Amino acid sequence: MKRHLISAADLTRDDAVLILDTAEEMARVADRPIKKLPTLRGRTVVNLFFEDSTRTRISFEAAAKRLSADVINFSAKGSSVSKGESLKDTALTLEAMGADAVVIRHHASGAPYRLANSGWIDGAVVNAGDGTHEHPTQALLDAFTMRRRLVGPDAGTGHDLAGRRITIVGDVLHSRVARSNVHLLTTLGAEVTLVAPPTLVPVGVETWPCEVSYDLDSVLPKSDAVMMLRVQRERMNAAFFPTEREYARRYGLDGERMARMPEHAVVMHPGPMNRGMEITAEVADSGRCTAVEQVANGVSIRMAVLYLLLGGSEPAVTNNARPEENK
Ligand code: NCD
């Protein structure tokens, strides 16, 4: 695996499967009464958030703490960034603190790449979402969730998503989650179809390794997982669809549409959800929707990523940490 995690497109199949398998071990730790491993004791992880986040920030923090790392949380609001401090000066400050890993979310696509290749810091850089570019750990936790739901928790290690049909629906244009998922899921052997209004399909999508459709109802019966994307109004500088009602009618998932999916198929959403827009409350709260599971799986995936990038000095999960063997 590379030293940084900037893009899902950088991951080979072996890298991706190693992360998923390591996350499976980490998930077992989450079932123990004491959810902590000593693996990253003495290491410092900085969460550098220039953009709002609930799930991703909390989950990276929980992951680092479960591995016993020291965690510094930095959010641009309330810091010297609001006084105009540059990414470079912020990075130099982190370096002075001895950061072993920097988890960065930034509104500018490419900011994590800049940080990783600038020479400003020595630590590993993990992209927690950059502009409309990529969000690799989200794609990993999505793949992990699909693998558990579609292949089964006892499928053992090494399994990928070969031949599974995944449909990603909605605001693809502004979605770093969609970009990262298309790369990762195809690397894992899945077949991906994007469904969106023509105005929300990115220019150049022909070069992406996936199909594009404008007809949700025809794709649903052939899907093993349907990932609904949030309509990202904060990134929209123009009218991309006539009305919210019209959007929901053509591209939203309601109970009636969900009934067209095969029985085993799941509904996914990275959150935050616009209930009533891309997904109805009925679907969001149904047992087929994995949104909450995705959050829990996010901690295991981020533990695996931090562990693998920081090359923990001890095995990820040691036998003597098992509570029953400590008795
Ligand atoms: C996504 C993000 O921030 O890119 N959310 C997340 O990380 N859970 C998707 C979104 O904001 O819609």
pLDDT per residue of the chain (327 residues) written in tens, 0 to 9: 789 999 999 999 999 999 999 999 999 998 899 989 999 999 999 999 999 899 999 999 999 999 999 999 988 877 777 677 788 998 999 899 899 999 999 999 999 999 999 999 999 999 999 999 999 999 999 999 999 999 875 555 566 899 999 999 999 999 999 999 999 999 999 999 999 999 999 999 999 999 999 999 999 999 999 999 999 988 888 789 989 999 999 999 999 999 999 999 999 999 999 999 999 999 999 999 999 999 999 999 999 999 999 985 566 665 544 444 333
CATH of the domain at 188: 3.40.50.1370
Three-state SS sequence of 86-102: CHHHHHHHHHHCCCCEE
The answer on 109 and 73 residing in a single domain is: yes
Distance linking the first and last C-alpha atoms of the chain: 37
Calculate ∠ Cα 59-27-224, nearest 5°.
90
Tokens of 17: 């499967």
Q: Is any ligand 1 atom within 6 A of the Cβ of residue 170?
A: no
Claim to verify: residue 51 and residue 178 sit in the same structural domain: no
Neighbours of 154 (CB within 10 A): 6
Residues 22 and 150 in one domain: no
Please state whether beta strands 124-130 and 101-106 pair in parallel, antiparallel, or not at all (unpaired): parallel
Helix (H, G, I), strand (E, B) or coil at 121: coil
Residue ranges making up the domain that contains 201: 136-290
Q: Are residues 80 and 217 in the same domain?
A: no
pTM for the predicted model, two decimal places = 0.93
Cβ–ligand 1 distance for 271 under 6 Å, the answer yes
CA of 82 to the centre of ligand 1 (A): 23
Residue type, 41: R
Residue 326 lies in a domain: no
Q: How many residues in total does the chain contain?
A: 327
Which ligand 1 atom is nearest residue 129's CA? 4
Atom nearest to 175 CA in ligand 1: 4
| Same domain assignment for residues 142 and 278 | yes
Closest CA to 159 of 188, 129, 199, 122: 188
Q: What are phi and psi of 58, to 5 degrees?
A: -65, -40
| 260, 276 Cβ separation under 8 angstroms | no
Distance from the alpha carbon of residue 53 to the mean position of ligand 1, in angstroms: 8
Establish if 327 belongs to a structural domain. Answer: no
Ligand 1 atom closest to 54 (CA): 8
For residues 101 and 227, membership in a common domain is answered with no
H helices then E strands: how many in the chain? 12, 9
Same domain, 24 and 65: yes
Cβ distance 53 to 129 under 8 Å?
A: yes
Instruction: Output the CA 313–ligand 1 centroid distance in Å.
Output: 32
Q: Is 83 exposed, middle or buried (0-12, 13-18, 19+ CB in 10 A)?
A: exposed
Q: How many beta carbons lie within 10 A of that of residue 113, not counting itself?
A: 17
The finding on whether 177 has its CB within 6 A of some atom of ligand 1 is yes
User: Would you say the CB of residue 55 lies under 6 angstroms from ligand 1?
Assistant: yes
Tell me, in angstroms, the distance from the centre of ligand 1 to residue 96's CA. 30
In the chain, the number of structural domains is 2
